[in-house]
Amino acid sequence: MTLGLAARDGRIVAPDDTTAAPLAVRGLTVTYGEKPALFALEATFDAGVMSAIIGPNGAGKSTLLKAVLGMVTPVSGNIRAFGRPVSEVLSRIAYVPQRATVDWDFPTRVIDVVLMGMARELGLLRPIRQDHRDRAVACLSRVGMEHFADRQIGQLSGGQQQRVFLARALAQGAELYLLDEPFAGVDAATEKTIVAVLKSLRDAGATVVVVHHDLATVASYFERALLINTTRIAEGPVADVLTSETLQATYGGRLAQAQLAQILG
Amino acid sequence: MAGASHRRSSRRSSAEMWGLGYNAALVAIGAGLLGAGAGITGSFLVLRKRALVSDAIAHATLPGIALAFLVMVALGGEGRNLAGLLTGSALSAWFGLLCVGWLTHATRLSEDAAIGAVLSVFFGFGILLLTVIQSLNMGRQAGLETFLLGSTAGMLYSDALTIAIGGGLATLAALVLRRPMLTAAFDPGYAVATGLDIRRVDLAMMGLVMAITVIGIKIVGLVLIVAMVILPPVTARFWTDRADRVVLIAGVMGGLTGLVGALISALAPNLPTGPIIVLTGSLAFAISLLIAPRRGALAALLARHRYQRHVHLRQGLLALALNHPVHERYTLRLLIHAGLANPDGTATDEGRAAAARALLDESRWQVLRADPAQEIAASHYDGLRPIETVLTPDQIAQIDARLAPRPLP
């Protein structure tokens, strides 16, 4: 690493303070057209921790994940995963996209979707063998979907589809899991299953980062939270981060006092 | 020379054993191979929802054909050299593709608008060049316009070989790239997140379609080649819910279409081969559209009819349970037919039992739907679905406890 200094939050800091955290974002700015979706965002996600990214609609939550994965090109900023550029460690990162981004009439079965998670290992030509299928079914059974392996993906309910997506991420065997609103529009049983699986991943040492929209469940699901609205409002343990000041700063007047009281207990 | 003509005559005699002319046999084999290749490569394009790109590709070949002819004549060569013409068409089709890509990326034009623009500009320019070539009277230029609608009359053994090799290579490449192409088609966001360069995957996919197009314009013509790329996969989609089978069926379907179409046109030599092949493919499509299970029009109609009967029966039973008169004649007919009602509109014993069950189910649903905590389970309510398929027996018992005791009728 070359010697040098970088500015952050108006302070001068050493450029190597990003460490080897599973995910570290420094000074990230992403714009769509002229309007910044993210501005000078700072965030660090530590190993073995389950974190939520929280913020109102249009705060840049999904954009942050997209920028991390190279789906949008940032105007400026530095993103490192495990201390290296993300493109070098993509095999260690599993992504669960928003359900709405997929064509549900696509002719594919549940098991084919899960096998997609093994793309790197299968390569272009290696045939799919029985042990691949067995592993795919094992991933499905972790999310309670093993009996749906042969269904066309569009025949499933929203919650079931989301669980299949999670199974695909499991099949990849990653160390960092990025999930974009996995609980949006799913039933309570699915939410419970997904949370349980994520917690078991965390307990096994994986890092889990979830774009989350339900403030009421943040405290029970996650250890840390990142509050953003275009830029970082607060970051840290959930209990420290979710205060009425930070929530007001994040959501402005959009959060009623009654809601606030409920979230803060 | 003597050896070559001898080989040719022996080939000729084996083709004639089929009862076909030598040319007809060549055309049939060539068209079959082309159809299979077009069906397989086209599947990926259709699944990626970019079928129309093939139309832009096909029309963008025309200026390349004309320019290649001019260049070859200017160099003192044979203007109608097929390899030269195909190279020219490939270059201009590739340029057309780049234009479509650039227009959608650099401007706010949507892809369909960009396709329309590129298609018409290239085609117009190509037609202009053809007209110029004809007026120049350079000799032997006749036949260039056969690339528009295809021509099989003068098909040579070398042409068939070109199609076989080119189509085979394109098919092989498509099979090698099948996983990235299908991932990109199903879930582009995820594909990028796994490190796939989606633009390169798309370019490869369109390059394969372009190869097939260039190879096929001699037989089918550039106006109709699109049909060979699009029809087999959309036909195949009716018959399967699996992407790998769409590709397989489209390959078989495309091959058969080409073969059968070419054979039909051989039986009626005055009919043009390209349009006959396309019409054959359309027939397969139309039949699939009608009779395919689940996705076909007939299946959809039957399913709707079944659903309607279900709704009428349910409403009739609820009416019987509440002692309301059944006004609708269709409902009454269904009830009578099912042995649930008498011709006078009163319930049979069986009808009374079924009506009570329907009413209980409905009342349980009402309790469930009134409970804000059960919003998701309640969202399954459609007036038909038995509550047992949504809730566990325990949950139903809880609901029953909350059901107000209903006075017996």
B303 touches chain A (CB under 8 A): no
Q: What number is the ipTM of this complex?
A: 0.85
Contacts of A187 in chain B (CB under 8 A): 376-377
H/E stretch holding B174 reads helix B157-176
B105 touches chain A (CB under 8 A): no
Q: Is residue B407 part of a domain?
A: no
Give the pLDDT of residue B162. 84
The pLDDT of residue A155 is above 70: yes
Looking at the structure, tell me whether residues B136 and B236 fall in a common domain.
yes
- Kindly list the domain boundaries of chain A, sorted by start residue: 6-264
Looking at the structure, tell me whether residues B329 and B380 fall in a common domain.
yes
B235, B264, B289 — which closes off a domain? B289
Tell me which residue of B90, B91, B116, B122 sits closest to B103, measured CA to CA: B116
CB B88 within 8 A of CB B67: yes
- Mean of pLDDT over chain B: 87
Give the pLDDT of residue B148. 86
Which residue is it, tokens 């009421």?
A216
Q: What are the CA-CA distances from residue B397 to residues A194, B113, B387, B400 (Å)? A: 28, 59, 12, 5
Chosen for mutation from A23, A63, A71, A120 (greatest number of chain B CBs closer than 10 Å) is A71
Residue B144, domain CATH: 1.10.3470.10
Q: Is residue B321 part of a domain?
A: yes
B266, B289, B312 — which closes off a domain? B289
Q: What is the Cα–Cα distance from A200 to A188, expressed in whole angstroms?
A: 18
Q: Dig out the tokens for A47 from the structure.
A: 């190993």
Give the pLDDT of residue B4. 46
pLDDT, tens digit, 9 for 90 and up, residues A195-224:
999 999 999 999 999 999 888 899 999 999
Q: Is residue B114 part of a domain?
A: yes
Give the pLDDT of residue A1. 36
CB contact under 8 A, A101 and B240: no
Contacts of A70 in chain B (CB under 8 A): 192-193
Task: Report the domain count for chain B.
Answer: 2
Q: What is the Cα–Cα distance from A258 to A243, expressed in whole angstroms?
A: 14
CB contact under 8 A, B243 and A112: yes
pLDDT, tens digit, 9 for 90 and up, residues A73-130:
899 999 999 999 999 999 999 999 988 778 889 999 999 999 999 998 888 888 899 9
Rg (CA), chain A: 19
Q: What is the Cα–Cα distance from B189 to A102, expressed in whole angstroms?
A: 8
CB contact under 8 A, B189 and A124: no
Looking at the structure, tell me whether residues B260 and B338 fall in a common domain.
no
Q: What is the Cα–Cα distance from A90 to A69, expressed in whole angstroms?
A: 8
Q: Which residue of B has its CA nearest to A125?
A: B176
Q: Identify which has the larger pLDDT, A261 or A22.
A: A22
Looking at the structure, tell me whether residues B280 and B195 fall in a common domain.
yes
Q: How far is B25 from chain A (nearest CA, A)?
A: 35
Apex B279 CA angle, B273 and B284, nearest 5: 130
- Chain B, 13 to 52: residues with Cβ < 8 Å from chain A are 47, 49
Q: How far is B254 from chain A (nearest CA, A)?
A: 19
Looking at the structure, tell me whether residues B265 and B319 fall in a common domain.
no
Looking at the structure, tell me whether residues B283 and B302 fall in a common domain.
no
Looking at the structure, tell me whether residues B184 and B327 fall in a common domain.
no
Q: How many helices (H) and strands (E) does chain A have?
A: 10, 12
B176 touches chain A (CB under 8 A): yes
Domain that holds residue B72: 2-289
pLDDT, tens digit, 9 for 90 and up, residues B204-240:
999 999 999 998 888 888 888 999 999 999 999 999 9
Looking at the structure, tell me whether residues B154 and B235 fall in a common domain.
yes
Q: Is residue B409 part of a domain?
A: no
B289, B319, B339 — which closes off a domain? B289
Q: How far is A8 from chain B (nearest CA, A)?
A: 28
The fold of A6-264 is: Rossmann fold (3.40.50)
**What percent of chain B is predicted at pLDDT more than 90?**
45
